[in-house]
Structure 1
């Protein structure tokens, strides 16, 4: 794996929502439209914002042709016409690379949309179809004209599962990955990687790395034995949902013991890989809604940027966008909103950005400050952490290597607290006073300490 990963931090975008593309067929424009809509340019106009934040990675959600939300792929080799065409993609990648920004693609390789031509061929020709080997199908008793009984992803009838024991599926995924890496992508986020046998990735990734040795691969894993998955699959990283859960839930419920557990779990993961870390993404409620007390948002961000991992910032979280994910059709729409054609001026916030909270300016500045701090301490990427102090409402974490140490101290209580300073002698961010080896935090205060 290339050393560039040690220094990358991603800005994560859900392109269909970000650019205002219609997500459902009833919106009047589907992925089968003949004329590309050329919306990808809107993302390009935000690249300077990415640089201004101090980030250097663009993690794109689905950009390939699909029927609705992007995860029901119909053509892995075509840019979704609701977003544009291949020339638009090439321009976006070139513009990102000109600014030193890496590009990560979202690979949906567990399943395809039911409208994918490969599956449509099965419905027309049955088991004799040339693409029959791509899918897990029960052909027992099937007659022409009958529905095809195929496995689907987590009960979603429109998401037809691929047969990962088939060499044809491995060949397809290798071809897709190498094609887009050849067009300039730097890596892949592998959607629903927890649903794919790790042995499948172990077959695919070496073939891709033979052609693109610097590519990086992170898997979306919500549950399972992360260390075993990485060891068997050869993936470089997995999403650390345990940290996301510990951050928002531990802070929102004033149970920092839960957060302590997540921090210590991160040390275990480092035995096998550096996790992909986040406080928000396109599948969960916005962090500014998940933590209802706005005074505690900085606490979550301070830990995100001072713990080991490869951090991702979900577009809009830097402005404190509020939105709650709901379990219903269209329940993701609020957390996947359309963005303006270009970044708003700081002076116009929050009124110029729908969904932004009253603290938009402060959170934008705080993201920049913490990302800059992370840049100055690049060794944090793979450093272990020790919990020096914990109560329900106070937590002190020291993250260190032989190169240095930073101490992150949190107080979500109504009273000031004095906590161990972990040997730190200066306040790097936040607010605290240091004396006699202790850090005094105001009510609902936080600080990052160092030398």
Structure 2
């Protein structure tokens, strides 16, 4: 009879019951402090509207909503060719990164469960005959859009990277800076369209004067729009990239983004390549960076139903909600409640147009790494414990990755976050060379020689990404609140007959006894078999248990998390 029962798989993260998971290698230690025991019952509430593209099964597209992107800061990531490096730059890396270094780590990236890479700009910022500056190394002020920076590699090396990534089943996205550049910019496209420049630059709601040695694109001129339409399509047709991440997207008017996006979509429709052994079209995905609140992301990025601009933008407010709930944000502000995350998700639903595809993330090259925010929280006494040698450091990192993995739509992981990378001795903003909040995260990549804690987190993230890949409910399902409050972040994700429950204990000083009825799943009449898995180690054993009657109860230790699946 047991084989005929519908099974419910329970993935208990390594931050859950230590007594249940000791054999799997999870830690049973707690770092002092009195633990309060509270009870919670999971019940459905009509909190989320599920109006956004990837939360609506009638509109969601798997290839877009299931993007699992890995951001790479090219100048810092990995040295594959010691003859061509910048050797200068912002941040704490050795500034020896290049395209060959990315090629060399494709197997590592693929092994994480990643299916896309985003490269910071690789266009030429300086040739090899002129002195270089730290700004050149970033790639964000280029001088020739149609050349690969020789400090990163050649056009052939870049083509090799794209082909190799595609062969491994990964998409490739380039960073497009279509609003500003060096004053030495090459202004003529292959079809002789001339880019028009200006020293009056568009900011968020205001203008500013271009800095020394730089200029901005004059997007009031039709020729500038035509230049960028040709450029954006060129890398799709010539190199077969899959789309673009757009830097400071507010510098380009929404009506221009609409035309550039349509040019990319048309180029993708007319281009094919071989990905993972199959002939496919480039994805044609574009995601904007507008480092602001939801209203301005809508105004300058998404646009409206009548004038849609970029259909995907990074979800900055949600990111700040996550770090404030689990750590502190850069300003040291915090609000350690499950509702802190929930409120940002609801605000986005109420602000973005229905076609919006938020891209969720924790860190990027302009922000402080999550691990350093944890340590800043300890320094500022917002957290009782969370330094790098603390068990709570790793638990909070797991919770952050769990939130991201549970949200519908594309997600992005900044290199190093998969194993908990931090910058030593950077718990507060130092404003010293290499230690500024807006570039301290640009560290040299690490791909081996991990500690047991680092390896466990990396394995955890890899397992979560692979589970997400196999669960449309996670990547493109509707979301129902089932008990989010000051202690818990708790949601049910649904896609067709696939259902997932995610429950997280946000608090470091509370043990939560959680109960839910089988009716929380649509097939409540079926007997339920539960399977335990410690996702921190692939070799963890499994144990089947059964609920008592129509309810199931479990305990979330401080900073614990549980994920239930009715099918995988």
Q: Same fold (TM over 0.5)?
A: yes
Residue number in structure 2 paired with 1:274: 357
Q: 1:22 aligns with which of 83, 86, 90?
A: 86
Mark the CA change 1:291 to 1:184 in structure 2 (over 3 Å): closer, same or farther: same
Aligned to 1:400: 494
Alignment pair present for 1:83 and 2:152: yes
Alignment gaps of 5+ in structure 1: 32-36, 120-129, 138-149, 351-357
Q: Which of 364, 377, 393 is equivalent to 2:471?
A: 377
Within the alignment, does 1:196 sit opposite 2:311 as a pair?
no
Partner of 1:114: 183
- Indicate how the Cα distance of structure 1 residues 314 and 221 shifts in structure 2: closer, same or farther if over 3 A, else same: same
Pick the aligned partner of 2:223 from 138, 156, 168.
168
Tell me the equivalent position of 2:264.
Answer: 208
1:303-354 residue CA offsets vs partner (Å, 9 max, x unmatched): 11011120111111111101357667743553112235xx31xxx313xxxx
**Aligned counterpart for 1:285 among listed residues 368, 371, 376:** 368
Structure 2 unaligned spans of 5+: 1-59, 80-84, 126-135, 270-282, 328-333, 376-385, 387-392, 522-527, 536-542
State the shift of 1:85 in Å.
1.0
Note the aligned Cα RMSD (angstroms): 3.1
Select the residue among 555, 565, 568 that pairs with 1:440. Answer: 555
1:52-451 matches, cutoff 5 A: 52-66=111-125, 67-118=136-187, 134-137=196-199, 150-151=200-201, 157-158=211-212, 159-182=214-237, 183-213=239-269, 214-223=283-292, 224-227=295-298, 229-230=301-302, 231=304, 232-252=307-327, 253=334, 254-268=336-350, 269=352, 271-292=354-375, 293=386, 294=393, 295-323=395-423, 330=434, 331=436, 332-339=438-445, 343-344=447-448, 348-350=449-451, 359-411=453-505, 412-421=507-516, 423=520, 426=530, 436-451=551-566
CA displacement 1:218-265 (0-9 Å, x = unmatched): 111222344554233442311111221111111123233211212333
Tell me, what secondary structure is at the counterpart of 2:508?
A: coil
Whole-angstrom distance in 2 between the partners of 1:6 and 1:326: 38
In the superposition, relative to structure 1, how do residues 399 and 430 fare at CA in structure 2: closer, same or farther (>3 Å)?
farther
What's the secondary structure of 1:275's corresponding residue? strand
Residues in 2 aligned to 1:96 and 1:72: alpha-carbon distance in whole angstroms: 26
Q: Name the structure 1 match of 2:103.
A: 44
Aligned equivalent of 2:53: none
CA shift, 1:276, in A, is: 1.0
Structure with a larger share of its residues in helix = 1
| CA distance in 2: counterparts of 1:264 and 1:430, whole angstroms | 31
Distance 1:251 1:104, change over 3 A: same
What secondary structure is seen at the aligned counterpart in 2 of 1:362? Answer: helix
Q: Residues 32-70 of structure 1, C-alpha deviation per residue, up to 9 Å, x if partnerless?
A: xxxxx9931111111111221111111111111123421
Relative contact order (C-alpha < 8 Å, sep 6+): which is higher?
Answer: 2
How far has the Cα of 1:427 moved from its partner? 6.0
- How far is the alpha carbon of 1:184 from its aligned partner? 1.6
Distance, in Å, in 2 between the alignment partners of 1:399 and 1:391 is 18
Q: 1:185 to 1:105 in 2, by over 3 A?
A: same
Against the structure 1 CA distance between its residues 156 and 427, is the aligned structure 2 distance closer, same or farther, given a 3 Å change threshold?
farther
The CA distance in 2 between the partners of 1:405 and 1:2, in whole Å, is: 18
Q: 1:65 to 1:386 in 2, by over 3 A?
A: same
Secondary structure at the counterpart of residue 406 of structure 2: coil
> TM-score if structure 1 supplies the norm length?
0.81
Q: TM-score, normalised by structure 2?
A: 0.65
Q: Distance in 2 between matches of 1:427 and 1:46?
A: 34
Between the two proteins, the alignment pairs up a number of residues equal to 408
Asked whether the equivalents of residues 75 and 97 of structure 2 are also in contact (C-alpha less than 8 Å), the reply is no
CA contact (8 A) 1:264 1:385 kept: no
- Local SS of the residue matching 1:212: helix
The Cα of 1:177 is off from its aligned counterpart by 1.1
Tell whether the 8 Å contact from 1:193 to 1:221 is kept in structure 2 after alignment.
yes
Deviations 1:249-292 (A, max 9, x none): 11123233211212333544482222111111111111122234
Shift of 1:398: 1.8
- How far residue 385 of structure 1 moved from its aligned partner, in angstroms, is 1.9
Question: What is the rounded CA distance, in whole Å, between the counterparts of 1:385 and 1:376 in structure 2?
Answer: 17
| 1:179 CA drift (Å) | 1.5
CA distance in 1, matches of 2:118, 2:358: 15
Q: Is the 2:67–2:409 contact (alpha carbons within 8 Å) kept by the matching residues of 1?
A: no
Q: Distance in 1 between matches of 2:564 and 2:245?
A: 33
Q: Note closer, same or farther for the CA distance 1:286–1:163 as it changes in structure 2 (3 Å cut).
A: same
